[in-house]
Amino acid sequence: MATTATSKIAEAISILSDALTIEVAPRPGPVFEDDVPVPAQTHEELKTLVEEFATENIAGLEELQADLQLVVGDEDEVYDDEPWAAKYERLKQEHQTAEAAETGDAIAMVEMLVAAGDELQEQIDEHENTIKDLKNTIRASLDVISELVTATENFHSQAEDF
């Protein structure tokens, strides 16, 4: 779905490139404020530079998008923070705890609390692993962003030469 948007951007760049080529072709070269024609080779070099820049940035952005989408999951899916089986077990345990408290069964209550503590530790471990995965994804995304920044700086410096 998001690839469609980037595909449309790439297609729009291609259409603009074609339109510029057609518009510039009959003239000896583009004319700027000082009415000095720009050589066709310079125009082609600039056009190539822009196309490479756009292609490189689109590829980097698509990579970032895919990485982040993989971690976040499908946006159409509705996630329940607590799956039904876990919710059932939690409610069952709460009920048993309440019953044990009413009957004064201290041993049963301690066993349930220990079991609840173990379950909480498992959840904590899962969350810690999720946090590590998210940090790794963010680090990888930062690397791609750094590459895009470098590409943009290079483009800016090369574009100044024209």
Q: What is the pLDDT of residue 116?
A: 83
Higher pLDDT, 136 or 98: 136
pLDDT of residue 75: 59
Question: pLDDT at residue 32 above 70?
Answer: no
pLDDT at residue 36 in the model: 67
Assigned token pair, 107:
């041993």
Sequence-distant (6+) residues with CB within 8 A of 31 are 37, 38
The CA radius of gyration of the chain, in Å to the nearest whole number, is 30
pLDDT at residue 161 greater than cutoff 60: yes
pLDDT at 76: 60
Give the pTM: 0.44
71-126 residue pLDDT tens: 777 656 555 555 666 766 777 777 777 776 666 677 777 777 888 888 888 888 98
Q: What is the dihedral of CA 26, 29, 32, 35, to 10 degrees?
A: -90
Tokens 């039904």 sit on residue: 84
**Structural domain count of the chain:** 1
Q: Which domain does 151 fall in, by range?
A: 2-160
DSSP 3-state of 120? helix
Two tokens at 12? Answer: 């729009």
Q: Using alpha carbons, list the distances in angstroms from residue 87 to 59, 83, 90, 122.
A: 42, 6, 5, 15
For 33-63, the pLDDT digits (tens) are 566 666 777 778 888 888 888 888 888 888 8
Note the Cα 79 to chain centre separation in Å.
19
